A and B are shown apart, each in its own frame.
Chain A
Amino acid sequence: MLSRVANGIFWLYRYLERAENTARLLAAGHRMALTRGTDEATQEWRSVLKTLGLIQAYDTHYSNYSGAQVCDFVLRAKTNPRSVLSMFEKARTNARICRSAITREVWESINEGWMNLNELLSRPVREGNLDNVLGAIRRESTLARGATHGSMLRNEIYAFSRCGTFMERADNTARILDVKYFLLLPSLSYVGTALDTGQWDNVLRSLSGERAYSWLNAGRMDARSIAEFLILDERFPRSLQFCRLAMHENLSALARLRGRTGLAHEALAKVDELLENRTVEQIFEHGLHEFIVKFIGLNATLADAIAREYRFLA
């Protein structure tokens, strides 16, 4: 396939995944803000912006962190080139560029999603309508993914779409952990005291993992099992381990199609070294934060390696 199109497909799915993750993060932040005092709510909105890498951009425009303002900025502000609306627009532009590489179902789901969100986000979102809008963003992204799953040939194009999805998803999970890692540290002050389960719950919620986690752990909340769940659990579709295995599956498919491996596979091997046969004890021992920072770096290197290996840019 054309490299330019492979690049477009890769980014199309990265943007869709990012839009969805952003909606999830806002939903969790909103819930948190509702249940806490003003100071903690401000902290929460700041951490949402930090996770999204938008805090500097936000600070140049606003001086306080009200939920309405943060949501408006993240979802639709013209001053924010990385708003959800503009992500969907970019996803759709990429879909147009790659129109002949995707099925009609996929194209229509993305085009319609963009039309719906354009309409929903044409004016500021009222708080009473926020859950509705965030739900719509997740639903549109889910529809596009479902159309992809149900209608696309399992070929090179599909492999690049999956690579984009899991690259972005792993990055998102790691960024949430990067901002919230201190909550999971077995700090002395927490020994014997009641854990701030609200905060933990929020981290799980921002990854849609709260139900799965409590089902697996019978409601028990502790740092070790949460970290293990989010980083190492192969069954949880937003864990770093799950994303790594998915990248394996798709990069192997690409290697099979061309009969050889390359830069991308070498870069993935570095991620393997970090995650394969790793125990949560080892991670805590070497430092959770260092581990996460290292993962984010390796994941970014992997994205670059894919772009170079498959000649995304002329």
Chain B
Amino acid sequence: MNATTADKFDEMHAPDGSVRPAYREYCQWLDQQDPTLLRRKGAEAESVFRRTGITFNVYGQDDAEERLIPFDMVPRIISGAEWRRVSRGIEQRVRALNAFIHDLYHRQEIIRSGTLPLRLLRNNTTWLPQMVGFTPPGGVYTHIVGVDLVRTGPDEFMVLEDNARTPSGVSYMLENRETMMAMFPELFTRAKVRPISDYPRQLAASLAACAPDCAGPRPTIAVLTPGIFNSAYFEHAFLADQMGAELVEGSDLRVIDGRVQMRTTDGFRPIDVLYRRVDDDYLDPLTFNPKSVLGVPGIFDVYRAGRITIANAPGTGVADDKAIYSFMPEIVQFYTGEKPLLPNVQTWRCAEKDSLAYVLDNLAELVVKEVHGSGGYGMLIGPTSSKKELETFRAKLVAKPDNYIAQPTLALSTCPIFTSKGLAPRHVDLRPFVLCSPDGVEITPGGLTRVALKNGSLVVNSSQGGGTKDSWVLDD
């Protein structure tokens, strides 16, 4: 699927080779740099990441238990004007998401109105009947959202995915910036880059604002991690550390006197807000997966009694499903009464007969994804697949069409990376991080830019060899 140069949008260079305005200051600086020195800096950056332990674990790889996510030194730059447009769209979308989830667990107006077919809930394993009729403290479901954006042109930002469960990657966003500032301090005196270092403080404040009524004036916040073997453990520890919150595991927690409490050196102490980084299914063996040892037996009863906040709320996964995603334009319109500011990527629901027929006819041009999949696993990228792969996938589609959606193979925008032969364009996406609380919606300027390191590749997932970049929003 090597999108041809003509139809893909390069964020740094215009088709005539000139540098786009947002990158002007950076490119002027770059021209004055010695390329060998820059290459050495790249190696330095890697050793900084190793030393600081900014690693992730890859499941099923014994020899490489902890790996680095490759970091590219060329920043991805977004102008102030572009960002204002994008962030308005994100805010609208996230507000709609919260209203949508609330509605799904209460009156289901959107289904009654005929906007959303009931079958999407019926077949949805992320839908939790235990949440029906319950409103979480502060009325917030998605405390933290990572909205994956792709770009195909100057004004064409589109939402590829709404990560409404436990989006990861924010620690890389923060550490990438720290690394850039340490390596190239002079750059930050030249270009006016909006700071992002406030994120952990905002996260803590945002979580505290959602604390249950029983919490004191300074709510106790804890991050629940599955433990040091989890792929995102670094991030869990990082966020707990930066927020000044406790980093707890299931074995630390117990329900005592109707509260979730943690075992401290001085006895059990209640927790008010639990930022959990374990999936719904593992949260409470009494309510969900009985085999889970990662969660807390009885936590769901405490939650339903309104005596702990769980972020994100259980059952938000229902909005994070790719079949639901295809209805997001309607959902945004339904709850905000406005046209969506950020469009979806065109999506065919294979559950629908006509769409399925189209998808089967055009399989070699499309990207097909599992409805509940994530991380780039279990998907088909038509243009780069062999005949055999296409046929295998075709059989899967026919057998279980409900399980799939299809999208066109997008000409994702590119941004240059450093290679041994100089700058070379690679495809990128962007995951901005959004915080919701009763006080409002906060969006950290920028987000995590993921970049496909292989020439022509569209797969940016870190689990599949993608890298990251520092993402700048200019204060212009």
Q: How far does the alpha carbon of A314 sit from the alpha carbon of B51 in the complex, in Å?
A: 32
B212-240 near A? 1/0 per residue, CB < 8 Å: 00000000000000001000010001101
A-contacting residues, B342-370, CB 8 Å: none
B145 at the interface (CB under 8 A from A): no
Contact of A2 among B50, B237, B241, B263 (CB under 8 A): B263
B-contacting residues, A239-274, CB 8 Å: 254, 258
- State whether A3 and B241 are in contact (beta carbons under 8 Å apart), knowing that A96-B233, A104-B52, A108-B52 are contacts in the complex: no
Q: How far does the alpha carbon of A113 sit from the alpha carbon of B249 in the complex, in Å?
A: 27
- Which partner residue on chain A sits nearest B66 by CB separation? A96
- Which partner residue on chain A sits nearest B227 by CB separation? A97
Q: How far does the alpha carbon of A2 sit from the alpha carbon of B250 in the complex, in Å?
A: 12
Q: How far is the CB of B218 from chain A (nearest CB, A)?
A: 16
B475 at the interface (CB under 8 A from A): no
Give chain A residues whose Cβ lies under 8 Å from the Cβ of B247: 2, 5, 99-100
A112 at the interface (CB under 8 A from B): yes
Contact of B264 among A2, A107, A115, A254 (CB under 8 A): A2
- Which partner residue on chain A sits nearest B265 by CB separation? A310
A83 at the interface (CB under 8 A from B): no
Output the residue of B52, B245, B263 with the most chain A CB within 10 A: B263
A6 at the interface (CB under 8 A from B): yes
Complex contact B264–A314 (CB within 8 A) = no
Contact of A96 among B53, B245, B263 (CB under 8 A): B53
Q: How far does the alpha carbon of A112 sit from the alpha carbon of B51 in the complex, in Å?
A: 6
B251 at the interface (CB under 8 A from A): yes
Q: How far is the CB of B165 from chain A (nearest CB, A)?
A: 23
A93 at the interface (CB under 8 A from B): yes
Complex contact A97–B228 (CB within 8 A) = yes
- State whether A99 and B237 are in contact (beta carbons under 8 Å apart), knowing that A2-B248, A115-B51 are contacts in the complex: yes
Q: How far does the alpha carbon of A96 sit from the alpha carbon of B238 in the complex, in Å?
A: 10
- State whether A111 and B53 are in contact (beta carbons under 8 Å apart), knowing that A4-B251, A99-B247 are contacts in the complex: yes
B-contacting residues, A183-213, CB 8 Å: none
- Which partner residue on chain B sits nearest A93 by CB separation? B228
A149 at the interface (CB under 8 A from B): no
Complex contact A311–B228 (CB within 8 A) = no
Chain A's interface: helix, strand, loop or mixed, by majority?
A: helix
Complex contact B263–A311 (CB within 8 A) = yes
Q: How far is the CB of B264 from chain A (nearest CB, A)?
A: 6
- Which partner residue on chain B sits nearest A306 by CB separation? B265
- Which partner residue on chain A sits nearest B242 by CB separation? A100
Complex contact B237–A96 (CB within 8 A) = yes
A1 at the interface (CB under 8 A from B): yes
Q: How far does the alpha carbon of A6 sit from the alpha carbon of B266 in the complex, in Å?
A: 11
Give chain B residues whose Cβ lies under 8 Å from the Cβ of A93: 228
- Which partner residue on chain B sits nearest A160 by CB separation? B265
Complex contact B51–A2 (CB within 8 A) = no
Q: How far does the alpha carbon of A93 sit from the alpha carbon of B227 in the complex, in Å?
A: 11
Give chain A residues whose Cβ lies under 8 Å from the Cβ of B233: 96
A93-123 near B? 1/0 per residue, CB < 8 Å: 1001101100010011001100100000000
A-contacting residues, B244-302, CB 8 Å: 245-249, 251-252, 262-267
Q: How far is the CB of B232 from chain A (nearest CB, A)?
A: 13
Give chain A residues whose Cβ lies under 8 Å from the Cβ of B241: 99-100
Q: How far does the alpha carbon of A258 sit from the alpha carbon of B50 in the complex, in Å?
A: 38
Q: How far is the CB of A188 from chain B (nearest CB, A)?
A: 52
Q: How many A-B residue pairs have CB under 8 A?
A: 60
Give chain B residues whose Cβ lies under 8 Å from the Cβ of A4: 249, 251-252, 263
A178 at the interface (CB under 8 A from B): no
A131 at the interface (CB under 8 A from B): no
**Range, interface on chain A:** 20 to 34
Q: How far does the alpha carbon of A112 sit from the alpha carbon of B49 in the complex, in Å?
A: 11
Give chain B residues whose Cβ lies under 8 Å from the Cβ of A310: 265
Q: How far is the CB of A165 from chain B (nearest CB, A)?
A: 18
Complex contact B246–A2 (CB within 8 A) = yes
Q: How far is the CB of A106 from chain B (nearest CB, A)?
A: 12
Q: How far is the CB of B238 from chain A (nearest CB, A)?
A: 8
Give chain B residues whose Cβ lies under 8 Å from the Cβ of A3: 252, 263-265
Complex contact B265–A1 (CB within 8 A) = yes
Complex contact B51–A1 (CB within 8 A) = no
Q: How far does the alpha carbon of A1 sit from the alpha carbon of B248 in the complex, in Å?
A: 11
Q: How far is the CB of B214 from chain A (nearest CB, A)?
A: 21
Complex contact B50–A115 (CB within 8 A) = yes
A156 at the interface (CB under 8 A from B): yes
Q: How far is the CB of B260 from chain A (nearest CB, A)?
A: 14
Q: How far is the CB of B373 from chain A (nearest CB, A)?
A: 30
Q: How far is the CB of A2 from chain B (nearest CB, A)?
A: 6
Q: How far does the alpha carbon of A119 sit from the alpha carbon of B82 in the complex, in Å?
A: 47
B-contacting residues, A257-314, CB 8 Å: 258, 310-311, 314
Q: How far is the CB of B50 from chain A (nearest CB, A)?
A: 7
- Which partner residue on chain B sits nearest A110 by CB separation? B53
- Which partner residue on chain B sits nearest A107 by CB separation? B53
Give chain A residues whose Cβ lies under 8 Å from the Cβ of B267: 311
Give chain A residues whose Cβ lies under 8 Å from the Cβ of B240: 100
B-contacting residues, A1-25, CB 8 Å: 1-6
- Which partner residue on chain B sits nearest A157 by CB separation? B265
- Which partner residue on chain B sits nearest A254 by CB separation? B265
Give chain B residues whose Cβ lies under 8 Å from the Cβ of A5: 247
Q: How far does the alpha carbon of A4 sit from the alpha carbon of B238 in the complex, in Å?
A: 18
B-contacting residues, A111-164, CB 8 Å: 111-112, 115, 156
Complex contact B51–A108 (CB within 8 A) = yes
B439-459 near A? 1/0 per residue, CB < 8 Å: 000000000000000000000
Q: How far does the alpha carbon of A2 sit from the alpha carbon of B265 in the complex, in Å?
A: 6
Complex contact B265–A314 (CB within 8 A) = no
Contact of A314 among B228, B248, B263 (CB under 8 A): B263
Complex contact A6–B265 (CB within 8 A) = yes
Give chain A residues whose Cβ lies under 8 Å from the Cβ of B262: 2
Give chain B residues whose Cβ lies under 8 Å from the Cβ of A115: 50-51
Give chain A residues whose Cβ lies under 8 Å from the Cβ of B265: 1-3, 6, 156, 254, 258, 310-311
Q: How far does the alpha carbon of A223 sit from the alpha carbon of B58 in the complex, in Å?
A: 58
Complex contact B237–A100 (CB within 8 A) = yes
Complex contact A1–B228 (CB within 8 A) = no
- Which partner residue on chain A sits nearest B246 by CB separation? A2
Give chain A residues whose Cβ lies under 8 Å from the Cβ of B249: 4
Q: How far is the CB of A101 from chain B (nearest CB, A)?
A: 8
Taking Cβ atoms with an 8 Å cutoff, the residues of A that contact B are: 1-6, 93, 96-97, 99-100, 104, 107-108, 111-112, 115, 156, 254, 258, 310-311, 314
User: Would you mind naming 24 contact pairs between A and B with Cβ atoms under 8 Å apart?
Assistant: A1-B264, A2-B246, A2-B248, A2-B263, A2-B264, A2-B265, A3-B252, A3-B265, A4-B252, A96-B237, A97-B228, A99-B53, A100-B241, A100-B245, A100-B246, A100-B247, A107-B53, A111-B51, A112-B51, A254-B265, A258-B265, A310-B265, A311-B267, A314-B263
The 3 A-B residue pairs with the shortest CB-CB distance, nearest first, are A99-B237, A100-B241, A310-B265
